[in-house]
Amino acid sequence: MTFSNFEFKFDRSKLKKFANYLNDVCEDYWLDSDTAENKKRPIPIHTSQQNLVLVFDRREFAALKQLVTTNYAETKFLSILDIDYPLILN
C-alpha cells in the first residue's frame, strides 16, 4: 500500500492491527492541545523503530485512516460500461 511518500507492506493480520492502532489514536488530543490557535500540531504515528515517527496533518491522517479501514471485499468496482469517457485508440 502506498500513501503519500510512504510505502507500507502488511500482511492481513498486520494491516488489521495497524487499522486498530489508527482508530485508537486520539486525534482531539493532538489537535486541541495548549498550543497557539494558529499553529496546527501534526498527529504522530510511532513505529517499532525508536528513531522513526510518521507525522500527518488532520487531512492526511483522515485519508490514511479511510484507506486502511475500507473493507475492499464489499467494494463494488466500476465496469467498463460505468465509465462515460470517449475512448480513442491510436
Percentage of the chain modeled with pLDDT above 70: 87
For residues 69 and 76, give the distance between their C-alpha atoms in angstroms, rounded to a whole number: 16
- Mean pLDDT within 61-81: 81
20 pLDDT band, cuts 50/70/90, is very high
For residues 16 and 13, give the distance between their C-alpha atoms in angstroms, rounded to a whole number: 5
pLDDT at 34 > cutoff 70: no
Sole residue written with cell 510505502 = 7
Percentage of the chain modeled with pLDDT above 90: 10
Residue 45's beta-bridge partner residues?
54
What contacts 24+ positions apart, CB below 8 Å, involve 7-16? 15/68
pLDDT at 32 > cutoff 80: no
Could you tell me if 44 and 29 are in contact, meaning their C-beta atoms sit under 8 angstroms apart?
A: no
